[in-house]
Structure 1
Amino acid sequence: MSSRNLATANQSARERVDAARALLANPLLTAAQSEELALVRLHAPALRGTFKTLLGYNLIIESSFARLVKGPISPDGPARPARRSDSSAWTPVTYTHLALLCAALLAPGTGEQTLISALIDQVRSDAATIGVDIGDTLPERRALVTAVGHLIDWGVLTETDGTATGWSERQDEALLTIHRAVLPHLLARPLSGLAHSDDLLAGDPALADQPRRSLRRKLVENPLVRREDLTDGERDVLSRERSELTRMLDEHFGLTVEVRAEGVLAYDPGGSLTDIAFPGTGTVKQAALLLLAELIDSGQLPGRKTKADLGIAAEWGEVDDALEKLTDRHRRAWGSALVEQPLRLRDGVVALLVDMSLATADDTGLVVHPAAARYRPQPVAAPATRAARRLAGQDELEFG
């Protein structure tokens, strides 16, 4: 192969990896992510084969969107709720609003554009028919606009004139453009034939006999896969086929595999795949990182409790005390809103650590997984004094 052909092949391989990572990080790509969408369409046949063969995922690619249809979430993986701009998880009411909005947008007679006031009127009318009351107070309008904003972020709606926020605050009119082709593909599976909403989240029984595929899914979806959460078959695959697994994840998704006694981590050294940047900037991420250090240090004390050998167990009172000390120490650098609301800070920190699979939470407190030690900040050594450097130089002369 000539050097030019080799360079072309290498470039094509890098593009396929970038496209695959874009789909894993954002399973719905629309005109809002035009560059990523163009890359996916360019390598459509190869990507369809990769996702189907390695993960059992279907990839739908149309002229205006690409939709990676993933399997049901792993029951042992962290929950990933939709979140507001302040990182708080959606409530059931917001999910209800989203479902009603999608139904209204798919209703017969709905055109390519709609006024936001007309869309909300339709949602309220549909809600009333099923016994759901949606009023016209400011909090209720904001809740509706949270769901509208999610559809805008997905590229299902575009603000053509005005903004959804303007309607929620002042009831200013806004014209929305509807990208109807995407709407039928928002759900991972059709609703026909399902007896209950829980069936949408039911696991795939076929994976029980496919430990290789189920292990790959866990590694590309979860920040950390704990060894105790692997099935016997998955542990056997990890033990016998570690080299092949490492090569495959690097070749197709650009992921580096790190295996330790406590579990497996498949991470992207460049950070472009990771949907949660950690460590990172912001009060919650800084507090979470420092809290890990505090709890890990305390966990090294004699007689420290563990929970079923899964990690360091800290009661909620201890977590609150540690965060209070950290807040006092970093009050000037951290956001005042969170500093003045310790429970809100704690909720944000705990949600982040649970999403990263670095901890689990229950009614009694927090259990920090041993793998969290890799994020423990390393002590910074003070620079050597002039006398120490001179002494070190003398030692080298005497013993060199």
Structure 2
Amino acid sequence: MAAEVADVLDAQREEERGKAIRALLRYPLLTPEAPDFRLVRKHQGWLTDWFAREAGWQLHADTAVARLRKVPSRHVDGTRAAQTKGKVAFSRRRYVLTCLALAALERADSQVTLGWLAERMLAFAGDPDLLASGMVFTLGTREERTDLATVAGLLIGIGVLNKVAGDEAAYVSGSGDALYDVNRRVLAVLPVTRRGPSMVEAHDLYERLAAIIEELVPDTEDGRNRLIRHSLTRRLLDDPVLYYRELTEAERGYLERQRGPLLKRLTEATGLVAEVRSEGIALLDPTRETTDLGMPEEGTDGHATLLLAEYLANHLRTYPGTAVEADQATSEMERLAVQHRTLWRKNASVPELTAAAIHRLVSLGLIRLQADTIVPLPALARFGFADPVIIGKKDA
């Protein structure tokens, strides 16, 4: 009986740890209001060691916040823009405004209004370097005030601001204001850098991104292998698909030697399922707790995306290695819109549906855009349907 109880407790502990890992992968910043914050705190020591060993990621957790400092393996993925409840990806302007807002909050009192925050941001926006880059922020238009309200919504969502009273919509319309508490504990753990941006001399965006998170490792075989292992693990945990063709020769060689033990450690700890194909590897989540972008999804957009994926997958099977003209995808969506007009929402626009479907497929690593063409990638074949093959003779 004691052994059975111990087995049950061990299984429960492993399940809790896996759930905590999945929560942190999906939400790298958790506050006590989050459902899985308690699990992260409960297994904090083990999680800290696991993330550091497997991915080289640091985990900070205290009574006010849990922050997984995820460092991406690549800096050229433009598909993971910040979003608010409206699901509209952040523009360059909104990113700049977010940085200005955070800079203002560093010098703020414990409570601020949206109007006060706007005034401080206006002062920062007058910086000559910002103006020279074409970033102009005056709050003179409703669009600019909407951008400010959207930034405030993002900061509320991640816990930097806690709304006390008022409404952002009232500020946008000029009929009111909003009051917030500033959560300095959350504000302090937001940066994920190893060097201060002011210490970096590079001017190119991607060079700067690489420089501020550059990892210093010993120039030894063990140090190089650890760096490769961390890079592969980050891509397996953070990217929808890892394609072998995208790896360096050293990474491919390491993966060929260590694939079994590496995947065993990751799947046992996370509860994810490894799908290994000749073209690459994907870690799938049966719980769907780790993904911010699922497929398939319900609704018109989800249905349209799935049908376009099937069309592109059939093209991949019939004409492997060839691209699809973007106009062909639009024409297919027009045909689908007519075929399913009684099922899809009436205000669905074919160009918007096509753009949304293509963005989702790119984000999931299922296609690649190349000039004005769409290149179907191997993982897209999961959404295609071939004719059934009957094996054996049916009994009389």
SS at match of 1:160: strand
Contact in 2 for aligned 1:256/1:268 (Cα 8 Å): yes
1:217 aligned partner: 234
1:366 aligned partner: 374
For residues 274-353 of structure 1, the aligned pairs below 5 Å read 274-301=291-318, 304=319, 309=321, 312-337=322-347, 339-340=348-349, 342-353=350-361
Cα deviation for residue 86 of structure 1 reads 4.5
* 1:133 to 1:276, Cα distance in 2 relative to 1, 3 A: closer
1:152 aligned partner: 156
SS at match of 2:67: strand
Distance 1:366 1:293 in 2: 14
Distance 2:52 2:175 in 1: 46
* 1:328 to 1:85, Cα distance in 2 relative to 1, 3 A: farther
Distance 2:297 2:44 in 1: 33
2:10 aligned partner: 9
1:251 aligned partner: 268
Distance 1:350 1:295 in 2: 11
Stretch moving more, 130-139 or 53-62:
130-139
SS at match of 2:291: coil
Unaligned runs of 5+ in 1: 381-391
Cα deviation for residue 16 of structure 1 reads 1.1
1:383 aligned partner: none
Distance 1:8 1:187 in 2: 37
Stretch moving more, 253-262 or 209-218:
209-218
SS at match of 2:36: helix
1:46 aligned partner: 46
* 1:133 to 1:193, Cα distance in 2 relative to 1, 3 A: same
SS at match of 1:56: coil
Distance 1:169 1:379 in 2: 57
Alignment deviations for residues 349-399 of structure 1 (CA, whole Å, 9 cap, x no partner): 11111110001113221111121011225789xxxxxxxxxxx9xx85xx4
Contact in 2 for aligned 1:279/1:286 (Cα 8 Å): yes
Stretch moving more, 96-105 or 196-205:
196-205
2:220 aligned partner: none
Cα deviation for residue 166 of structure 1 reads 3.2
Contact in 2 for aligned 1:78/1:357 (Cα 8 Å): no
- What's the C-alpha RMSD, in Å, of the aligned pairs? 2.5
SS at match of 1:165: helix
For residues 114-193 of structure 1, the aligned pairs below 5 Å read 114-130=112-128, 131=131, 132-189=136-193, 190-193=196-199
SS at match of 2:336: helix
Distance 1:171 1:123 in 2: 20
Distance 1:374 1:51 in 2: 30
Contact in 2 for aligned 1:61/1:67 (Cα 8 Å): yes
Contact in 2 for aligned 1:31/1:155 (Cα 8 Å): no
SS at match of 2:185: coil
SS at match of 1:31: coil
2:32 aligned partner: 31
* 1:79 to 1:125, Cα distance in 2 relative to 1, 3 A: same
Distance 1:215 1:70 in 2: 14
* 1:352 to 1:159, Cα distance in 2 relative to 1, 3 A: same
Distance 2:76 2:94 in 1: 25
SS at match of 1:59: strand
Cα deviation for residue 236 of structure 1 reads 2.8
SS at match of 1:118: helix
Distance 1:18 1:165 in 2: 37
Cα deviation for residue 142 of structure 1 reads 0.7
Distance 2:199 2:305 in 1: 43
* 1:84 to 1:368, Cα distance in 2 relative to 1, 3 A: farther
Distance 2:99 2:272 in 1: 35
1:384 aligned partner: none
Stretch moving more, 371-380 or 320-329:
371-380
* 1:235 to 1:329, Cα distance in 2 relative to 1, 3 A: same
Stretch moving more, 191-200 or 11-20:
191-200
Compare CA radii of gyration and give the structure with the larger one: 1
Contact in 2 for aligned 1:17/1:253 (Cα 8 Å): yes
Distance 1:253 1:324 in 2: 41
Distance 2:324 2:175 in 1: 47
Alignment deviations for residues 10-47 of structure 1 (CA, whole Å, 9 cap, x no partner): 212211111111111111111341x3222111111101
So what's the TM-score if we normalise by structure 1?
0.86
Cα deviation for residue 164 of structure 1 reads 2.1
Contact in 2 for aligned 1:138/1:169 (Cα 8 Å): yes
Distance 2:43 2:190 in 1: 22
Cα deviation for residue 4 of structure 1 reads 2.1
Q: Give aligned-pair identity as a percent.
A: 30
1:269 aligned partner: 286
Cα deviation for residue 9 of structure 1 reads 2.1
Stretch moving more, 125-134 or 42-51:
125-134
Contact in 1 for aligned 2:366/2:376 (Cα 8 Å): yes
Distance 2:174 2:386 in 1: 50
* 1:22 to 1:379, Cα distance in 2 relative to 1, 3 A: farther
Cα deviation for residue 111 of structure 1 reads 1.7
- Letter aligned with residue 28 of structure 1: L
Cα deviation for residue 245 of structure 1 reads 2.1
SS at match of 1:38: helix
Contact in 2 for aligned 1:285/1:352 (Cα 8 Å): no
